């Protein structure tokens, strides 16, 4: 497969593997746009939940999605998804209820299809706003959204380290349950993309992980 003309860095991994902090730092260092696709699934979950739609009612989910208009705003290095002109804040998309619902909504094929084009289009946002490239993090970026990315990383950490990280952040998050749903779903499951570079973040500090990724990127670019 020929590589994408714009430099894209795909960073996948389970919850609390250090994806967000790493992606953010890499984007800053390289002057790339940072897109967190977990936040996309959280924003859609927030909107559907607010409309009273449960993930088990697939017809209502499809109807609900048809009422959502997606928009993008860029602040600093980061792009944010808005729905019908509203960008929910962090406490809204990282609430306990969104934490418990998001993996269920993300397992629904119509929800994934709904976000697919939007996520691919983020390259154009990066170009239009003058960024040198795109760092996109998620679960299926290197496997489904951008299998043609120049760099595909898969971050891994053991379960104990990840639980501890979430506790330190003061967040209540059923990581094990979410990961089980994310890896077990049929559509775009969480997995290490073939040919991706695996980085174990359990034993390394955030600074070490960032330095490792930057070294790989700079050496190959």
Contacting residues toward ligand DC, per CB under 6 A: 15, 37-38, 41-42, 102-103, 106, 138-141, 178, 182
In angstroms, the CA 53 to CA 59 distance is 10
In whole angstroms, how close is the CB of 45 to ligand DC at the nearest point? 8
Please identify, using beta-carbon distances, which residue of 65 and 106 lies nearer to ligand DC: 106
Which residue, 31, 23, 7, 6, is CA-closest to 154?
23
**Residues with Cβ within 8 Å of residue 144, at least 6 apart in sequence:** 116, 188
Please identify, using beta-carbon distances, which residue of 159 and 221 lies nearer to ligand DC: 159
In whole angstroms, how close is the CB of 124 to ligand DC at the nearest point? 19
3-class secondary-structure state, position 6:
coil
Please identify, using beta-carbon distances, which residue of 98 and 210 lies nearer to ligand DC: 98
In whole angstroms, how close is the CB of 187 to ligand DC at the nearest point? 9
Please identify, using beta-carbon distances, which residue of 56 and 219 lies nearer to ligand DC: 56
Q: In what order do the strands lie in the sheet with 151-156?
A: 70-75, 78-83, 33-36, 133-138, 7-13, 151-156, 197-200
In whole angstroms, how close is the CB of 161 to ligand DC at the nearest point? 15
CA distances from 115 to 18, 42, 111 (A): 23, 12, 7
């Amino acid at each position: 497969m020929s590589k994408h003309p714009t430099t894209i860095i795909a960073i996948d991994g389970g919850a609390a593997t250090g994806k967000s902090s790493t992606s953010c730092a890499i984007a800053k260092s390289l002057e790339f746009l940072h897109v967190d696709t977990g936040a996309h699934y959280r924003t859609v979950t927030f909107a559907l939940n607010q409309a009273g739609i449960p993930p088990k009612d697939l017809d209502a989910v499809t109807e609900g999605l048809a009422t959502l208009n997606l928009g993008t705003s860029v602040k600093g290095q980061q792009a944010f998804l808005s729905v019908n002109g509203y960008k929910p804040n962090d406490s809204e998309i990282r609430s306990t209820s969104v934490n418990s619902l998001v993996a269920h909504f993300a397992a629904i094929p119509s929800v994934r299809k709904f976000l697919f084009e939007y996520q691919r289009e983020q390259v154009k946002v990066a170009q239009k706003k003058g960024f040198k490239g795109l760092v996109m993090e998620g679960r299926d970026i290197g496997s489904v959204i951008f299998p043609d990315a120049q760099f595909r990383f898969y971050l891994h950490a053991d379960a104990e380290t990840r639980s501890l990280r979430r506790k330190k952040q003061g967040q209540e998050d059923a990581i094990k349950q979410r990961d089980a749903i994310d890896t077990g779903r049929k559509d775009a499951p969480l997995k290490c993309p073939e040919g991706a570079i695996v980085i174990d973040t359990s034993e390394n500090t955030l600074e070490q992980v960032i330095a490792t990724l930057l070294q790989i990127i700079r050496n190959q670019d």
